[in-house]
Structure 1
Amino acid sequence: MGSPATTALHRAVCTLLLASLGCVTGQPLGGESICTARSLARYNLAFAGKWSQTAFPKQYPLFRPPAQWSSLLGTTHSSDYSMWRENEYASNGLRDFVEQGEAWALMKEIEAAGEKLQSVHAVFSAPAVPSGTGQTASELEVHPRHSLVSFVVRIVPSPDWFVGVDSLDLCEGGRWKEQVALDLYPHDAGTDSGFTFSSPNFATIPQATVTEITSSSPSHPANSFYYPKLKSLPPMARVTLVRLRQSARAFVPPALDLVSRGNEITDNLSVPETPLDCEASLWSSWGLCNGPCGKLGVKSRTRYVLVQPANNGTPCPSLEEETECVPDNCV
């Protein structure tokens, strides 16, 4: 996570970008359908993390650092700009953001798209969330020719994993949507090959494309999201966008079924309990066969628990096994 000075600097840059890009009025590509709404629209964006130990028990980060979310960085834009997209390669700026939480390069890319392609209307950001189940919020402005919203939030800790939205259109024909809510799932930026939340840096060479992480992909037992008994992962987060009426001061956010304490939240809806099966090591070698001469003896072997079960997962098997044998050195 960045220092307070770095966070303040990022806010200053975002403010500068907002001022410099807010006046851009790019034209749509030829033949492209456009939003016919008559005016600008403002939205409140509420991001709620659902990354709990109950929903994601496997290797859940408890310290150094504990589960948390980076600051949110987003933009409103036209269809000829893409911050990120599944099955396409992440930019250098996105790589720096999802791997290190460094936003400078990504903001420069957004600024360049606004200046050269006239495809970006505004930049917005929201503060980091210091827990897996916290919340944060921001406001954003969309334009009839820049009605799409994209943003990213880094999963901390992780190799290059993030959640976000790609080109969500807030315009429907001639009107702005009043409210949109989406569940968010983890994505792999394709730039680091780590399997677990705390994996050391291990660059993916050649770089892979952005992909959604599922309960079975990557198909490796060591992966932090590998839950082969689940058809799909529970959502890691949820974003709700609500159109603002008149001034922001008059806005009253809708009930999100959340009980707030600062930026900590408790979801009143039932939290999914993801079962985590016990994982045991391989058996050790058999020990010596002990016993009196002329009779069968006993030898044993052991194994140990790699992962403790949780949420009614399969319990651990026996950790010790014995079998009869002919004594090696009878007494």
Structure 2
Amino acid sequence: MDDSQPALGAALWVVILATLGSVASQPLGAESLCTARPLAKYSLTFTGKWSQTAFPKQYPLFRPPAQWSSLLGVAHSSDYSLWRKGQHASNGLRDFAERGEAWALMREMEAAGERLQSVHGVFSAPAVPSGTGQSATELEVHSRHSLVSFVVRIVPSPDWFVGVDSLDLCEGSRWREQVTLDLYPYDAGTDSGFTFSSPNFATIPQDAVTEITSSSPSHPANSFYYPRLKALPPIARVTLVRVRQSPRAYVPPATDLASRGNEILDSLPAPETPLDCEVSLWSSWGLCAGPCGQLGTKSRTRYVRVQPANDGSPCPALQEETDCAPDNCV
């Protein structure tokens, strides 16, 4: 036997083991290895931007008005997922997205932490009682748990929410100082309602989590259906700022310019989304009226289902007449 074969085999095993090791330490979609200091603290500010100007179609004004649930989030490693586009929502996420009930989702987080050691800590922020407003909290991440995920329910809605999936706050050997993200609506795939106030109608079988866009679902009844727009305006925003601490006392983060930038952005007027008029189908033609032996007229009507807003297309005529032969002439 050639003496080089055992050496070649050993070398091949080294390559295989090294490859397996790199795969094991870097699952699909995993964060890069974080070598920053073990712990970092962040302030999180959630800003609702759900206004009647930006989203005029079916904007909820009463019972209940537009608002946001409490924010529920987790710091975790890459082997845990709170939610993910294209995957099925867990039972806990279903309860939260449909009814705002957080207990099952929190139990799922705690179980993942106990079983897989993949969760570092759970955090929450208060509800926002209107479509526009802010809520804030603080959270802690670890070098082995540098990802942040959270969800906020859109109220009222069938099973719609906004959130962040596995945002990595670590960049190699350092923690990111500030991150700002625009947020857009998602459908949890567990309820088939089209509008904010739809009654409960379970999706069977359950669908995957999907992003709601200006053209999807492609149905005129959908509350977010704005076919004239290429993309929806952001319905919310989140900003995370690293909090620096000293042994003596708390020192606010040195992000004055960034904070002022966010204040300027938040003070800008909301985008005016054009909303076209929507009318019903025509009614059937009415009776033909007129003297016998002469042409008469008959009419049909339709009504306005959605009033136009923000320079949207105006409503067409709501009544139409045509000539006819009078009815019941002797």
Q: What TM-score do you get using the length of structure 2 for normalisation?
A: 0.87
Shift of residue 288 of structure 1? 1.1
- Give aligned-pair identity as a percent: 79
1:227 is matched with which residue?
A: 226
What is the deviation of 1:135?
0.5
C-alpha distance in 2 between matches for 1:108 and 1:302:
56
Q: The residue matched to 1:220 in structure 2 has which SS? A: coil
Distance 1:96 1:39 in 2: 34
Q: Return the offset for 1:97.
A: 0.6
CA shift, 1:257, in A, is 4.2
Higher-Rg member (1/2) = 2
Map 1:152-171 to 2 at 5 A: 152-171=151-170
Q: 1:37 corresponds to which residue?
A: 36
Deviation of 1:29 (Å): 7.7
Whichever residue aligns with residue 31 of structure 1, its letter is S
What code does the residue aligned with 1:255 have? R
Alignment-mate amino acid for residue 186 of structure 2:
H
Mapped to 1, the partners of 2:214 and 2:238 lie a distance apart of 21
**1:255 partnered with 2:255:** no
Note the residue ranges of structure 1 that are not aligned, 5 or more in a row. 1-27, 260-265
Q: Measure the CA separation in 2 of the matches of 1:219 and 1:75.
A: 33
Structure 1 residue 296 displacement after superposition: 1.0
- The residue type equivalent to 1:177 in the other structure is R
Structure 2: distance between partners of 1:276 and 1:208: 29
1:87 aligns with 2:73: no
Cα distance, 1:270 vs. partner?
3.1
The aligned counterpart of 1:279 is 278
Query: Residue 134 of structure 1 aligns to a residue in which SS?
Result: strand
State how 1:198-237 maps to structure 2 within 5 Å.
198-237=197-236
- Map of 1:1-331 to 2, 5 A cutoff? 30-32=24-26, 33-246=32-245, 249-251=250-252, 254-255=259-260, 257-258=262-263, 267-330=266-329
Q: 1:305 to 1:96 in 2, by over 3 A?
A: same
Q: Distance in 1 between matches of 2:206 and 2:292?
A: 64
Cα 1:29–1:78, aligned 2, differ >3 Å: closer, same or farther?
farther
- Size of the aligned set, in residue pairs, is 298
**Per-residue deviation at 1:330?**
4.6
Q: Distance in 1 between matches of 2:106 and 2:25?
A: 29
Cα separation, partners in 2 of 1:103 and 1:37, compared to 1, 3 Å: same
Give CA-to-partner distance per residue, 1:236-294, whole Å, 9 cap, x none. 100000101116842256235449xxxxxx93223111111111111111111111122
Structure 2 residue identity aligned to 1:210:
V
Do the aligned residues in 2 keep the contact of 1:79 with 1:119 (CA within 8 Å)?
yes
* Aligned AA (2:219): H
**How far has the Cα of 1:298 moved from its partner?**
1.0
CA 279–91 in structure 1, closer or farther in 2 if over 3 Å, else same: same
| Map of 1:19 onto structure 2 | none
Distance 2:325 2:261 in 1: 69
Q: AA paired with 1:251?
A: P
**What is the DSSP-based 3-state SS (H/G/I as helix, E as strand, rest coil) of the residue aligned with 2:327?**
coil
CA contact (8 A) 1:184 1:237 kept: yes
Mapped to 1, the partners of 2:280 and 2:72 lie a distance apart of: 42
Aligned residues of 1:290 and 1:330 also touching (Cα < 8 A) = no
Partner amino acid for 1:289?
C
SS in 2 for 1:255: helix
Separation (CA, whole Å) in 1 of partners of 2:260 and 2:166: 25
Does the 8 Å contact 2:244/2:250 carry over to 1?
no
* Structure 2 residue ranges without an equivalent (≥5): 1-21, 27-31
Moved more, 90-99 or 29-38: 29-38
Conservation of the 8 A alpha-carbon contact between 1:257 and 1:269 = no
Q: Which secondary structure does the structure 1 equivalent of 2:132 belong to?
A: coil
Contact 1:291 1:330 in 2 (8 A): no
Larger helix proportion of the pair? 2
SS of residue paired to 1:42: strand
Structure 2 CA distance for aligned equivalents of residues 256 and 77 of structure 1: 29
Q: How many angstroms does 1:329 deviate by? A: 3.4
Partner SS state of residue 297, structure 2: strand
1:185-218 CA-partner distances (Å, limit 9, x unpaired): 0000000000000001100000000000001111
